[in-house]
Amino acid sequence: MSASEIKDLSRLAIHTITTKGWTLEQCVENFSAAGVKGITVWRQALEGRSDAAIAEAGKRIRDSGLSTVALCRGGFFPGKTEADRNKALDDNRRAIAEAAALGAPLIVLVCGAVPGIPLEDARKQIADGIAAVLPEASAAKVKLSIEPLHPMYAGDRSAVNTLGQANDLVEQLGSPWVGVAADVFHLWWDPALEAEIARCAKLGALDAFHICDWLSPMADMLNDRGLMGEGCIPIKKIRGWVEAAGFNGFNEVEVFSHRHWARDPKDFLADIVSSYLKYS
Amino acid sequence: MSASEIKDLSRLAIHTITTKGWTLEQCVENFSAAGVKGITVWRQALEGRSDAAIAEAGKRIRDSGLSTVALCRGGFFPGKTEADRNKALDDNRRAIAEAAALGAPLIVLVCGAVPGIPLEDARKQIADGIAAVLPEASAAKVKLSIEPLHPMYAGDRSAVNTLGQANDLVEQLGSPWVGVAADVFHLWWDPALEAEIARCAKLGALDAFHICDWLSPMADMLNDRGLMGEGCIPIKKIRGWVEAAGFNGFNEVEVFSHRHWARDPKDFLADIVSSYLKYS
């Protein structure tokens, strides 16, 4: 099944990190003025705010006609000591409280990996960590969405590196409050992707869909993502797969890029919109 | 099953690219003097030599007490035009002739990927390309060993990104002249690795085992590999898996590193030997 035709911005969301030169208020004002309909809020954009101030920010987002798609991000569960792991749990509990205050239905989890902790141990610590904060998540009605990260981040950012692994974790944890955030940057190379997207949706776990592009060559493993159309990811094809699986949520533009961050954010936002309409 | 204890250098081989400041002759002389027992020859080290001169180089290697483990590398089959793909086939036929002249039992294949060619098309072109040169490989008694490359190279270096995919290709091609070169750098993150190593060996396809380490952070996606012990790859554990599967060939040190290449190759070679004994 091919992807639906994108005719307008009704399903376009942007992550605040994408235009990280802007404050949350500037993101909201400019996204809204551009006709963007969703925003995923990175916690950096909330730094220093009380729960009341976060709730107020959530209201401002809604009043501007935007949906809060997600809070980014929780996770980073593995740690070498119990103290480290408990600190991570506390931070995830704090993220759940922030998401609830903001009115975000889910938190994207970058699950974590630590050099020196074997991957299978890290994977167990991740499962244990999510299980530990599930009571708070369900009480707050905030879903925890595991984002499988590209295998090039297995050393230090996430030991969950394929959609298949994320789906296995969802099955293992067996809670309606655990799901998956699928990002084309991390997953596009995987020959099992179409099948695992279908499986994820059958599990009721396909919570979010992130888009950007993969540059060849890539100057920086973290902060040289491309805007849609600049690279080689078959975004429309993958969007067709998530739609065939029943996903009808936002297409979230998440670009980390020193190159784009160096530009005037207004020009970049205009390019996000035009490349979204043309290449997503 | 844990790995056998490494007590000597009898199974240590080094790729000429690892000490790329040296000519082939310098590699042979220095590796042999250090007690190294195997060498994998990169084609750059043979550049400009006739088949007769390559045969002479092969004799020099044998006379120095070294085994020629492999020729590196063939592949790069995908191309946007038939002319490009035919050029790749010619180059692989040339590699087969070089391997035969050198006395190398196998050629490592970096299968190729081209931005703009969808991965599934590239994968088909790879299977077709290997099949096309198989008659020459079998006639020359040179095995073609598919090296699955890390998913971070799916954009521009190889569309074969897991050991599972390489095993699938081996099954599909069904020839005793097609096998696999397993490199810990590319494969260490894969939760299916142990099972796919066993499957590969059952297929009679586990031809080669490459070692190095994964640095976090990594300064360069191509040329910042670590020496064993510098990073987070569980090399001993993975070596245990390949040995449990029946592999008893060379442990080949393949390090691309601007950092190490900038050093005196003799000092680097001494470190290769000591890190091999300690961390492999």
pLDDT at B210: 98
**pLDDT > 90 fraction of chain A, expressed in percent and rounded:** 99
Q: Which of B124, B94, B119, B95 is nearest to B109 (CA)?
A: B95
Whole-number percent of chain B with pLDDT over 90: 99
Partners of B116 on chain A (C-beta within 8 Å) are 232
b/e sequence B89-125, b meaning 16+ C-beta within 10 Å:
bebbbebbebbbbbbbbbbbbbbbbbeebebeebbeb
Residues in chain B with CB shorter than 8 Å from the CB of A118 are 234, 237
pLDDT of residue B68: 98
Interchain proximity A152–B152, CB inside 8 Å: yes
Query: Which residues of chain B make contact with A115, given a CB cutoff of 8 A?
Result: 216, 231-232
Per-residue H/E/C for B196-252:
HHHHHHHCCCEEEEEECECCCCCCCCCCECECCCCCCCCHHHHHHHHHHCCCCCCEE
- Whether residue A234 is preceded by a cis peptide bond, meaning omega within 30 degrees of 0, is no
pLDDT in tens, B128-179: 999 999 999 999 999 999 999 999 999 999 999 999 999 999 999 999 999 9
Question: Is residue B2 predicted with pLDDT exceeding 90?
Answer: no
The answer to whether residue A265 scores a pLDDT higher than 80 is yes
3-state secondary structure of B90: helix
Residue A70 has pLDDT above 80, yes or no: yes
B92 conformational bin, left if phi > 0, alpha if psi -120 to 50, beta if neither: alpha
**In terms of DSSP H, where are the helices of chain A?**
24-34, 51-63, 82-102, 119-140, 163-173, 184-187, 193-202, 235-244, 258-261, 265-279
CB contact under 8 A, A119 and B218: no
pLDDT average, residue stretch A82-102: 98
Enumerate chain A positions whose Cβ falls within 8 A of a Cβ in B: 115-116, 118-120, 123, 150-152, 154-156, 161-162, 165, 188-191, 214-218, 221, 231-232, 234, 237
Burial A230-255, CB ≥16 within 10 A → b, else e: bbbbebbbbbbbbbebebebbbbbbb
Q: Could you tell me which residues of chain B have a Cβ less than 8 Å from any Cβ in chain A?
A: 115-116, 118-120, 123, 150-152, 154-156, 161-162, 165, 188-191, 214-218, 221, 231-232, 234, 237
Query: Which domains are delineated in chain B?
Result: 12-279 (3.20.20.150)
**pLDDT for residue A226:** 98
- Calculate the alpha carbon distances from B143 to A92, A254, B74, B91, B102 in Å: 52, 44, 11, 16, 14
Residues A145-174: b if buried by 16+ CB within 10 A, e if exposed:
bbbbbbbbbbbbbbbbbbbbbbbbbbeebe
As a whole number of angstroms, the distance between CA B133 and CA B168 comes to: 18
* Residues facing B253 on adjacent strands: B14, B211
ipTM, two decimals, is 0.97
Say if the Cβ atoms of A216 and B119 lie within 8 Å.
no
- Average pLDDT of B80-106? 98
Average pLDDT, chain A: 98
| Distance between start and end Cα atoms, chain B | 15
pLDDT, residue A122, reads 98
Q: Within 13 Å of residue A39, how many CA atoms lie on the same side as its CB?
A: 37
Sheet strands (E) in B111-229: 143-146, 178-183, 206-211
Residue A1 has pLDDT above 80, yes or no: no
Query: At residue B62, what are phi and psi to the nearest 5 degrees?
Result: -65, -40
> pLDDT band for position B1 (50/70/90)?
low
Residue A2 confidence (pLDDT): 84
Angle of helix B82-102 relative to helix B51-63, nearest 10 degrees, comes to 40
pLDDT tens-digit map of A131-147: 999 999 999 999 999 99
* Mean pLDDT of all residues in B227-255: 98
pLDDT in tens, A50-66: 999 999 999 999 999 99
Angle at B87 between CA B223 and CA B117, to 5 degrees: 65
Residue type, B214: W
**Cα angle A187, A114, A157; round to 5:** 30
> Of A141, A12, A149, A21, whose CA–CA distance to A78 is shortest?
A149
Spatial separation of the C-alpha atoms in residues B169 and B248, rounded to whole Å = 23
Stretch A31-46: mean pLDDT: 98
A80: chain B residues, CB-CB within 8 Å = none
Give the ranges where A204-264 is alpha helix by DSSP (H).
235-244, 258-261
Sort out which chain A residues have CB atoms less than 8 A from B234's CB and list them: 118
